Amino acid sequence: MAGAGSPRVGDNFVADRQATRADVEAFLDRIVNVDPEEPAGEPPADARRHRAGQAIARVVGQGLMKGVGQSRFALDKSLTRGELAAMLARFMEYRDGISR
């Protein structure tokens, strides 16, 4: 089951819930479709035991999202408008093959 701040409850999408950084990361991991066998590096410290730890490492490794400090991803923190704008810009660069 998804976390308390997640826009998903079980298999149901709950549109009026705020999305967390982990929710957006999981979405990005699915749409970018990075090979799960590709080495992802080490997930941020607070994501190592999280169910999406390796997916977070893949998305961070591709440069699509960044942590909030040296070793924190802030999984349950709501995404700010600025973070969303930066993530979308990075995704468009990734999609278009522009090097970062």
**Which pLDDT score, from 0 to 100, does residue 100 have?**
47
Count of domains observed in the chain: 1
Question: Does residue 91 belong to any structural domain of this protein?
Answer: yes
Question: Does residue 33 belong to any structural domain of this protein?
Answer: yes
> What global pTM score does this model have?
0.65
Question: Does residue 53 belong to any structural domain of this protein?
Answer: yes
Question: Does residue 7 belong to any structural domain of this protein?
Answer: no
**Which pLDDT score, from 0 to 100, does residue 10 have?**
54
Question: Does residue 13 belong to any structural domain of this protein?
Answer: no
Pairing between β-strand 8-9 and β-strand 12-13 as defined by DSSP bridges: antiparallel
**Which pLDDT score, from 0 to 100, does residue 1 have?**
37
Question: Does residue 9 belong to any structural domain of this protein?
Answer: no
Judge contact between 7 and 15, C-beta under 8 A. Answer: yes
Give residue-wise pLDDT tens across range 20-53.
888 888 888 888 876 667 666 788 888 888 887 8
Mean pLDDT of the region 59-85:
85
Q: Could you list the residue range(s) of the whole structural domain that residue 65 is in?
A: 19-96
